Structure 1
């Protein structure tokens, strides 16, 4: 990973397979990612899109699936036109989720996002991602 790194982490009271489902199944993603519609086949090299509405404005983010290690690790590129940057490779982030089982049957879910322009931007993304991971945790734990 390059640039300033955004990080977030939660411990989910569920096994990794339940957390994995919340990360990869479109209906489950919609429930914790503010109604976002996720489209991909989760094959390495395949496109991925996120569509939704933020602050009353429609958006369509996109990326590419980089790594899929079912139940353990998921990595993808991510580009959002809402950032106001051109759609060029250097304006994509890499987002990686790592799931680690705990001894008591829970899951530590860690996220890293690289390619941030400054530490301030990384900190802002860390805060946003922390909120989203907390929403994912609530979704999984209420199932």
Structure 2
């Protein structure tokens, strides 16, 4: 990972397999990512797109699956035209989800995202990612 890094973490009262399912099932992703539709086959090297609407405007972000170790690590690149940068490799960042079993049988989800321009942007992205992980927790944990 390069540049300033955004980080977020949560502990979920569910096993790693259940959390993995939520990270890779489009219906569940839409529930914790504000309606975002994700499309990919999750094979390493495959394209991935995220689409939806933000502030009344449609968007489509894209990237590539870098690593998909079910129940352990999911890593993708990500590019968003909404950031106002050209679609060039240096304007993609890497998002990595790591899953670890907690002592009580739950899962610790750790997210990191590189490519932030400075510490302030890293902190803003950290807060956004934390909000997303908080929503993931609500989707995954049994009611």
Give the TM-score normalised by structure 2. Answer: 0.98
- The runs of 5 or more residues in structure 1 that have no matched partner are none
- The runs of 5 or more residues in structure 2 that have no matched partner are none
Query: Corresponding residue for 2:133?
Result: 133
RMSD: 0.8
Query: Corresponding residue for 2:108?
Result: 108
Query: Corresponding residue for 1:14?
Result: 14
Aligned length: 143
Query: Corresponding residue for 2:122?
Result: 122
Separation (CA, whole Å) in 1 of partners of 2:137 and 2:103? 18
Structure 2 matches for 1:72-111, cutoff 5 A? Answer: 72-111=72-111
1:39 aligns with 2:29: no
Report Cα offsets for 1:10-51 as digits up to 9, x if no partner: 000111111101100101101111111110000000000000
Tell me by how many angstroms 1:103 deviates. 1.9
